[in-house]
Chain A
Amino acid sequence: MSEHGERHLPGKGLINGLAVTLKTMVKPSTTQQYPDVEPDLPPRSRGVIALLEENCTVCMLCARECPDWCIYIDSHKEEVVVPGAARARQRNVLDKFDIDFSLCMYCGICIEVCPFDALHWTPEFEYAETDVLDLLHDKNRLGDWMQTVPAPPAHDVLGEPSKEEATAARKVAGPGAATPAQTARPAGRPERAS
């Protein structure tokens, strides 16, 4: 627009348009031809949810917190006799753990909320079905997905150390040593205008 007094030559916009299309044409296109080529998925991509059954204590947090109510859990209690203990221990045994992926909205709340790291994200996405009922993945199928769970990406170098690292560092340093809060680099907080 020439409201600010700058007069453009008539036709300059037309020529600029032609230049843009020509420039785009000579640059190689970044199209990935799926399915001949596997897509480059970024780390922590959310494809499907995997279940590590041995970690699950049937606390039901995931089923409770799922906004869509797409996790179905059944369990029963078993007694485990421990020799030398006053009474038998009880443990939850998982009978049914289904996730209905026709309802799942891939929010990840179930994975975040699981205290025992029994649920994991994997980037697998090729599980389309012709029948919507087949989108209900049962316990075995969810366990199979565990083989596709990638290693977690490395921690951010500039981020805060995780609680486990901080605790371990404190133990090594011994009592009375400087805590991470005292030795942390000052965050780049902007000066408040007075």
Chain B
Amino acid sequence: MPLWLDLLVRVVAVVAAFLVLPLVVGQTEHKVMAHMQSRLGPMYAGAFHGWAQLVADGVKFVQKEDITPRAADRQVFRLAPIVALFPYLVVLLAIPLGPGGLVAQQMDIGLFFVLAVLGVGVVAVLMSAWASANKYSLLGGLRGAAQLLGYELPLVLSAASVAMAAGTLSLSGIVEAWSPWWLLWQAPAALVFFVSGLAEIRRPPFDMPIAESELVFGYLTEYTGLRFAFFLLAEYVGIVVIAALTTVLFLGGWHGPAEEHLGWLWTLAKVFAVSFVVIWLRVTYPRLREDQLQRLCWLVLVPVALAQLVLTAAVKVAM
């Protein structure tokens, strides 16, 4: 296969996943949240249980007026949604889908790359908060900055634990080195990574920066139309990315029966299972207050992650 065709196929596949998977997760969220609240969710759009609801939402957002507040910093305000969205697209390049190198871009430092790029999302929150020229946005953004910077640490520490266990930073290498007993060995790291990941994508119960009932819509208050749709897309892509990372690092990625042929299926199934858990947590739990959030991070997650690092090192040395 000529190089240009190979590259084209990979890029198109990643962009397709980037556009389709969040919509599926979003529609699942509508329906799952609805049924967990004893109601039905979207039923009209698309005639079969409202499957086209998000498509209809996309069309609605596209035809809205493009408003930038007069006092806002125009360039920064307009760039923020792109800065929020782009890192997730780049992370999807590194996620291994199946055995035998079924990944858009094989990287030896895949995990390091992914964690570094995820950090760029923090800048987007601060950009939108500051550029909005709105008190509520600024408050939301600063809360967001504190939250995101704080939760980077347990995220990185728990990821480091599994990298140590596998002996490599390459995501494909980590999946290949995985074995079922890791579910037990890396369980604390898995929980810490998942919770930190939730906080990184500002999902309930960690949605203090948005906090609809308190801050109007936090750093997203001034956004309407297509820019707002991009932020919303970023939220759902974030869910897909965190679910994919949890799957690849802690749940064994493409491992499963008939993994030579169905590895990609197991990866996708695990990603959707983890996304379901993300939605489930959103429906069940109330929002954490800012101080409770920071306390959880620094007094619970960081020590547990450090203890897991010690455990991993001890077991690696003993084996």
Q: Which residues of chain B are within 8 angstroms of A27 by Cβ–Cβ distance?
A: 38
Q: Which of A17, A25, A30, A31 contacts B32 (CB 8 A)?
A: A25
| Cβ contacts A26-47/B at 8 Å (1 or 0 each) | 0101110100000000000000
Q: Which residues of chain B are within 8 angstroms of A22 by Cβ–Cβ distance?
A: 36, 280
Looking at chain B, what size class is its interface with the partner chain? 10 to 19
Is the CB–CB distance between A14 and B285 below 8 Å? yes
Q: Which residues of chain A are within 8 angstroms of B32 by Cβ–Cβ distance?
A: 25
Which of B37, B280, B284 counts the most A-chain CB atoms under 10 A from its CB? Answer: B284
Is the CB–CB distance between B36 and A21 below 8 Å? yes
Q: Which residues of chain A are within 8 angstroms of B280 by Cβ–Cβ distance?
A: 18, 21-22
For chains A and B in complex, what number of residue pairs have CB atoms within 8 angstroms? 32
A194 at the B interface (CB under 8 A):
no
Is the CB–CB distance between B40 and A24 below 8 Å? no
Is the CB–CB distance between A21 and B38 below 8 Å? no
A20 nearest CB neighbor, chain B only:
B284
B124 to chain A, nearest CB (A): 31
The 16 sampled A-B contact pairs (Cβ below 8 Å) are A14-B285, A17-B284, A17-B285, A18-B281, A18-B284, A21-B284, A22-B280, A24-B35, A24-B36, A25-B36, A29-B34, A29-B38, A29-B39, A31-B39, A31-B40, A33-B40
Is the CB–CB distance between B285 and A24 below 8 Å? no
A27 nearest CB neighbor, chain B only:
B38
B82 at the A interface (CB under 8 A):
no
B32 nearest CB neighbor, chain A only:
A25
A19 nearest CB neighbor, chain B only:
B284
Is the CB–CB distance between A30 and B38 below 8 Å? yes
Q: With A27-B38, A30-B38 known to touch, is A21 a contact of B283 (CB < 8 Å)?
A: yes
Is the CB–CB distance between A24 and B284 below 8 Å? no
CA–CA, A20 and B285, complex, Å: 11
CA–CA, A13 and B237, complex, Å: 30
CA–CA, A31 and B42, complex, Å: 12
- B276-304 interface (Cβ within 8 A of A): 280-281, 283-285
- B24-52 interface (Cβ within 8 A of A): 32, 34-40, 43
CA–CA, A14 and B284, complex, Å: 9
CA–CA, A24 and B37, complex, Å: 7
B282 nearest CB neighbor, chain A only:
A21
CA–CA, A20 and B35, complex, Å: 12
CA–CA, A119 and B38, complex, Å: 39
| Cβ contacts A90-129/B at 8 Å (1 or 0 each) | 0000000000000000000000000000000000000000
B149 to chain A, nearest CB (A): 26
CA–CA, A29 and B41, complex, Å: 10
Which of A14, A25, A29 counts the most B-chain CB atoms under 10 A from its CB? Answer: A25
CA–CA, A29 and B43, complex, Å: 13
Which of B32, B34, B43, B283 counts the most A-chain CB atoms under 10 A from its CB? Answer: B283
B31 nearest CB neighbor, chain A only:
A25
CA–CA, A29 and B34, complex, Å: 9
A31 to chain B, nearest CB (A): 5
B277 nearest CB neighbor, chain A only:
A18
Is the CB–CB distance between B284 and A29 below 8 Å? no
Q: Which residues of chain A are within 8 angstroms of B36 by Cβ–Cβ distance?
A: 21-22, 24-25
B293 to chain A, nearest CB (A): 16
